[in-house]
Structure 1
């Protein structure tokens, strides 16, 4: 059979022979050999850092649900925070759930009277600066 007859019959073209051993890919090191792996231990440099806290500018990492003693970062005075309780999404969701479960609107006002359902915003009583907030868990 000739090549035109093979194409008419839908047969694939014959494969071309390839070289038995293709050339290897180029080396990452060029003509230089890779560096030897050292088995000796080299002295290591250890860097130790410490955090310095400037006195008077620390804010407690955890503000509680009630008044908390701290140092105001604005006026640098030792204070006990003033707390304002503000309704949040949790307050509204609990109120809606009580309204649906109870079937009436009598119980939906209870979460707005409870401090545990509200966010506690802490303020400095001296300079009135915002210190932070405590979200109920």
Structure 2
């Protein structure tokens, strides 16, 4: 069988000689509509089957008796005149007994940039932000540490690290 010539290949299928090639042209649009006017028949199958619950063997299980004994809780809170320990000092001034001058004082605080601010500054500087952008961590109060001092003797008591 020889391939068709250029003229035969470019002509529409209806214009070509169908008898030579054993090719059947597709039906027209209206002919295909006439065949499918009726809907398909209804089938009585359930596309969503009902799931049955699993059956369990219902045997009698004896209950376990647990006897709980209540625990006594002992809570002690500092009294109004009692001073807290130095380790409990946070971001605000606190009442402690100075270990240097042995007086009950309310600490004086001073906020200063901590290790987190210096670390972030170095990271920003090494990444190329050196035109003042690396100084931004020093302006963020969450990167500052709180230093507690005794107002009488001026000695350093505690540092609270926020970050």
Q: TM-score, normalised by structure 1?
A: 0.46
* Bigger relative CO (Cα 8 Å, ≥ 6 apart): 1
More helix, by proportion: 2
Q: TM-score, normalised by structure 2?
A: 0.40
